[in-house]
Amino acid sequence: MENRTIPLLLTILFFCFCLTSSTFGQDTTQYKFIGAEACGKCHKSEKQGKQLPIWKESIHAQAYVVLQTEEAAEVAKEMGYEKSPSELYECLSCHASGYDVDKIYLGKKFNIEDGVQCETCHGAGSGYKSLKIMKNRDLAAKNGLVKVYENTEEFCRNCHNPDSPTFSGFDFEEMWAKIEHYLPVKKKSTK
Ligand code: HEC
Ligand code: HEC
Ligand code: HEC
Ligand code: HEC
């Protein structure tokens, strides 16, 4: 009996482990979220494409904070929830990162208050953040960088869909134009 129970328990544990992930299309559990500021160390200047300042000015940076507003409380209440939206998995799943992983997977500079941040879309970055790995796309992908450019619109629709209680449609071209943050060397991804 015992000989069978142990592998069964291990299998269950493994599946639980795989399910714990707060970025789409990738198992991020082995990587830590380092936080937007840490990505911004190299993605800040004009020369690099100003990804950090572009993101900071985007609504995505407010996606957690908006859950603390009166408006959000109303939305949650109407849906029958009693807890505050910023404590609800059902809201955090599209409004934040790192809410569903053990604290050991959150780097010192990671802030849940940063809402939908670099790693919410690009994948937890502790594995690919070094310059050597970042400069090699295949290596970066092997170390946790999500290939968001393969089908960007579908990717956005992971959150911009009718499961959002305030959804009122999603025009990809228009919405991407509001947050685009290309590297300066090229205008369009080659892959
Ligand atoms: C040590 C500096 C450094 C850090 C830290 C860093 N990056 Fe980068 N990153 C770069 C450089 C340099 C490039 C450009 C590589 C090239 O020209 O191919 C790049 C490229 C990228 C790309 C484009 C890759 C592709 O396949 O098109 C993405 C996306 C990206 N970084 C996201 C992030 C995110 C998210 C973080 C934080 C988790 C981060 N980076 C942290 C230096 C860095
Ligand atoms: C809402 C999701 C989202 C967030 C938040 C986000 N990105 Fe991106 N990022 C994308 C998508 C999608 C692309 C690919 C666009 C394409 O290639 O058409 C991209 C592309 C990039 C590229 C490569 C651009 C190129 O020219 O190939 C870099 C570098 C990058 N992001 C860094 C960052 C950094 C750093 C942050 C945080 C400061 C960040 N991103 C936040 C979705 C996001
Ligand atoms: C992890 C979930 C998530 C993903 C993935 C995501 N978004 Fe969002 N997005 C949000 C949330 C949540 C808000 C609302 C935040 C707020 O109101 O504070 C938002 C708001 C926006 C807004 C502002 C709304 C407006 O009407 O101006 C734009 C633009 C936007 N997203 C573009 C994109 C694009 C383009 C992509 C794909 C590259 C994308 N988003 C992917 C969660 C996401
Ligand atoms: C499926 C992803 C998703 C879920 C789940 C989700 N949201 Fe959002 N939320 C979004 C997106 C995307 C936006 C921005 C555009 C829109 O309204 O669809 C947004 C915008 C908002 C806004 C800003 C108002 C507005 O009209 O832009 C509030 C407030 C909000 N959400 C509250 C909540 C609350 C409360 C919950 C949980 C009960 C929740 N959301 C769950 C994706 C989601």
Best mutation site among 160, 164, 180 for ligand 3, i.e. most ligand atoms within 8 A of its Cβ? 160
What residue type is assigned to position 170 of the chain?
F
* Phi, psi angle pair for 60, to nearest 5°: -55, -35
| Residue 169 confidence (pLDDT) above 80 | yes
The predicted pLDDT at position 29 comes to 53
Q: What is the per-residue pLDDT across 43-82, written as a single tens digit (0 to 9) for each? A: 999 999 999 999 999 999 999 999 999 999 999 999 999 9
Identify the residues whose C-beta falls under 6 Å from ligand 1. Answer: 34, 38-39, 41-43, 118-119, 122, 125, 129, 131, 134-135, 137, 183, 189
pLDDT above 90 covers what percent of the chain?
78
pLDDT above 70 covers what percent of the chain?
82
Q: Which is it for the CA torsion 110, 72, 172, 93, positive or negative?
A: positive
Which ligand 1 atom lies nearest to the CA of residue 36?
37
The predicted pLDDT at position 186 comes to 55
Name the burial class of residue 72, with classes exposed (0-12), middle (13-18) and buried (19+) by CB atoms within 10 angstroms of its CB. Answer: buried
Name the burial class of residue 146, with classes exposed (0-12), middle (13-18) and buried (19+) by CB atoms within 10 angstroms of its CB. Answer: buried
The predicted pLDDT at position 75 comes to 98
Between 27 and 162, the more confident residue is 162
What residue type is assigned to position 110 of the chain?
F
Between 28 and 171, the more confident residue is 171
